[in-house]
Amino acid sequence: MTDPSGVTTERGEAVAAAMADIRAIEAEHGVTRAGVGAIRDRLIELSGNRRLFPAEQFPAPAEEERIRSCLYRLAQDDDDRFALYAQSSRGSVETPPHNHTTWAVVVGFEGQELNRFYDRSADGGVEQTDQHVVEAGTGVAMLPDDLHSIHIEGPALNFHCYGLALERLDEREFYDAATGQWRIFTNVSDIREARHGLQHC
Ligand SMILES: [Fe+2]
């Protein structure tokens, strides 16, 4: 893909620098509240360089497509650790409450993503404990067992970062309110390679 403005190269360098810092943060703090909070703050810093993430390079799926959101992979180590994605949504995207089995951070860029947080309830379900609207300049950070759900109404672009790539997370649980059961999360949104230039959803 042509890159007349050089923004793809510059973005790659900025992302690589952020991920190097995030590896160092995890090594220093471990998988702790302080550690994931520091990772969130580093990604907020990366997202503040708005020129590096032009909207036309991260289009959401078109109206006629079945899916309403997709992921652009921005970083992932050779061993699949430290995965960073840009999630582009055209709206009306929701997930049930779920865990990640690795640490997870969501940072806003464009639009709003409501995050609801839960504890497991005594009857085997979930009870909401908190919520946060992720938008530009803000983010949320979760430990592997933390539960959240996401709710996106309008178009949005957000950064999602995980301790291990999504396609390796095959034991994520979600709560199915219709049946009152916990089940394994198998469907991962379309992931598009974006580490070396960008492709459309
Ligand atoms: Fe999640």
Among residues 118, 123, 191, 111, the alpha carbon closest in space to that of 157 is found at 111
Q: Higher model confidence: residue 201 or residue 146? A: 146
Q: Which residue has the tokens 């997930």?
A: 95
Distance 131 CA to ligand 1 centre (A): 13
Distance 14 CA to ligand 1 centre (A): 24
Angle between helices 33-47 and 7-29 (to 10 degrees): 170
Q: Please give the average per-residue pLDDT across 118-122, as a whole number.
A: 97
pLDDT per residue as tens digits for the range 134-184: 999 999 999 999 999 999 999 999 999 999 999 899 899 999 999 999 999
C-alpha to C-alpha distance for 14 and 6, rounded to whole angstroms: 12
Structural domains of the chain ordered from first start: 7-184 (2.60.120.10)
87: Cβ contacts below 8 Å, ≥ 6 apart: 69, 70, 71, 72, 156, 157, 158, 159, 160, 189
2 band by pLDDT with thresholds 50, 70 and 90:
low
Please report, rounded to a whole number, the percentage of residues in the chain having pLDDT higher than 70: 95
Report the SS3 class of residue 1. coil
Distance 142 CA to ligand 1 centre (A): 9
Mean pLDDT of the chain: 93
Distance 106 CA to ligand 1 centre (A): 8
pLDDT at 1 over 80: no
Could you give the C-alpha distances from 160 to 14, 64, 87, 170, in angstroms and in order? 16, 25, 7, 17
Distance 148 CA to ligand 1 centre (A): 6
Distance 144 CA to ligand 1 centre (A): 10
State the Cα torsion 65-66-68-73 to the nearest 10°: -80
C-alpha to C-alpha distance for 76 and 80, rounded to whole angstroms: 6
φ, ψ (nearest 5 deg) of residue 48: -70, -15
Q: Please give the average per-residue pLDDT across 44-55, as a whole number.
A: 96
Among residues 18, 162, 9, the alpha carbon closest in space to that of 84 is found at 162
pLDDT at 200 over 60: no
Distance 100 CA to ligand 1 centre (A): 6
C-alpha to C-alpha distance for 75 and 84, rounded to whole angstroms: 5
Q: Please give the average per-residue pLDDT across 47-59, as a whole number.
A: 95
Distance 7 CA to ligand 1 centre (A): 29
Look at the chain and count its residues: 201
197 band by pLDDT with thresholds 50, 70 and 90:
low
Distance 98 CA to ligand 1 centre (A): 6
Distance 16 CA to ligand 1 centre (A): 23
Distance 38 CA to ligand 1 centre (A): 18
Distance 49 CA to ligand 1 centre (A): 24
Distance 129 CA to ligand 1 centre (A): 16
